[in-house]
């Protein structure tokens, strides 16, 4: 069995620091073998810098995934540096920089290769290449190298996430949704062995509007004026999922949600995993 931790969208320096502080504890206390983090909002809500990616990797992250904000200027430098193991959605046109998937082994279980695929939805987002077709192409390419395939589907619409989950059921080990920053309560193992959740949530300030300052967000909705968003700072929490996968078959055995603050960590530590 291999246990994979996926941490939902990191928002700003508060979320980044909280994640970096608690990942070593999580890996120790719940026996995590492999860690994936969505880092595309690390840099003040949009993008990620080399310094931020290096901080995540040094704290125990194996792979960093992205989304629609991965094309910020500093982030392009990150995805072009293969040593930083940072992905962009695979279904952007082929000539874009960076990679849409990676196959990597963790230090704790070097014999088990984990393939991580990053995809982006098209409902209410740019009309890029089809994630349904692209995912099958990638699975066919990867499956001869490893049965453990993990998908981060960065998408707006719950229906699109659910549809891709069923489309890939039995073909991948897990499909988790990101982008909306609100954790859903529908984690489950689908009929053919794929772990699924519509959205993992975010890691950052929860006294906010999806990580942004409340007053600024409310005014933007009230006035419809392009007021600049600023980050919130209070009630920092980590959202994620822990997924146990049979390393021989690639089938998921269990998926558990994480949602905790500094004050809650004792409960996480003492939970029977």
Q: Which residues are catalytic?
A: 69
Query: Do residues 246 and 202 make contact, with C-beta atoms less than 8 angstroms apart?
Result: no
Alpha-carbon dihedral sign for residues 8, 264, 4, 241: negative
- Per DSSP, 82 falls in state G
Residue 145 class from Cβ within 10 Å (0-12 exposed, 13-18 middle, 19+ buried)? exposed
Closest among 56, 14, 15, 12 to 36, alpha carbons compared: 56
CA torsion angle 254 259 265 271 (round to 10): -30
- Return phi, psi of residue 102, to 5°: -150, 150
Query: Do residues 118 and 152 make contact, with C-beta atoms less than 8 angstroms apart?
Result: yes
Q: Which residues contact 169 (CB under 8 A, 6 or more apart)?
A: 190, 191, 192, 193, 194, 196
Where are the alpha helices (H) located in 62-213, listed in sequence order? 73-79, 131-142, 158-167
Residue 236 class from Cβ within 10 Å (0-12 exposed, 13-18 middle, 19+ buried)? buried
Distance CA 129, CA 253 (A): 31
């Amino acid at each position: 069995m291999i246990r994979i931790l996926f941490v939902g969208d990191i928002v700003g320096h508060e979320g980044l620091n909280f994640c970096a502080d608690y990942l070593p504890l999580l890996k120790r206390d719940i026996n995590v073998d492999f860690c994936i983090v969505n880092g595309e909002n690390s840099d003040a809500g949009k993008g990620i810098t080399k310094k931020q990616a290096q901080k995540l990797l040094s704290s125990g992250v194996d792979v960093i995934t992205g989304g629609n904000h991965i094309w910020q200027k500093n982030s392009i430098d990150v995805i072009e540096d293969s040593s930083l193991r940072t992905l962009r959605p695979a279904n952007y046109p082929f000539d874009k920089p960076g990679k849409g998937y990676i196959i990597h082994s963790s230090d704790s279980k070097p014999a088990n290769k984990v393939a991580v695929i990053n995809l982006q939805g098209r409902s209410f987002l740019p009309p890029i290449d089809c994630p349904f077709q692209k995912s099958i192409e990638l699975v066919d390419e990867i499956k001869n190298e490893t049965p453990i395939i993990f998908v981060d589907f960065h998408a707006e619409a719950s229906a699109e996430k659910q549809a891709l989950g069923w489309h890939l059921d039995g073909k991948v080990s897990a499909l988790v949704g990101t982008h909306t920053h609100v954790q859903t309560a529908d984690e489950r193992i689908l009929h053919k062995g794929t772990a699924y959740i519509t959205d993992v949530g975010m890691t950052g300030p929860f006294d906010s509007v999806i990580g942004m300052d409340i007053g600024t967000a409310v005014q933007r909705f009230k006035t419809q004026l392009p007021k600049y968003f600023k980050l919130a700072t209070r009630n920092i929490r980590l959202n994620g999922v822990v997924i146990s996968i049979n390393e021989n078959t690639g089938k998921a055995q269990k998926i558990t949600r994480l949602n905790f603050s500094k004050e809650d960590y004792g409960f996480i530590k003492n939970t029977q995993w």
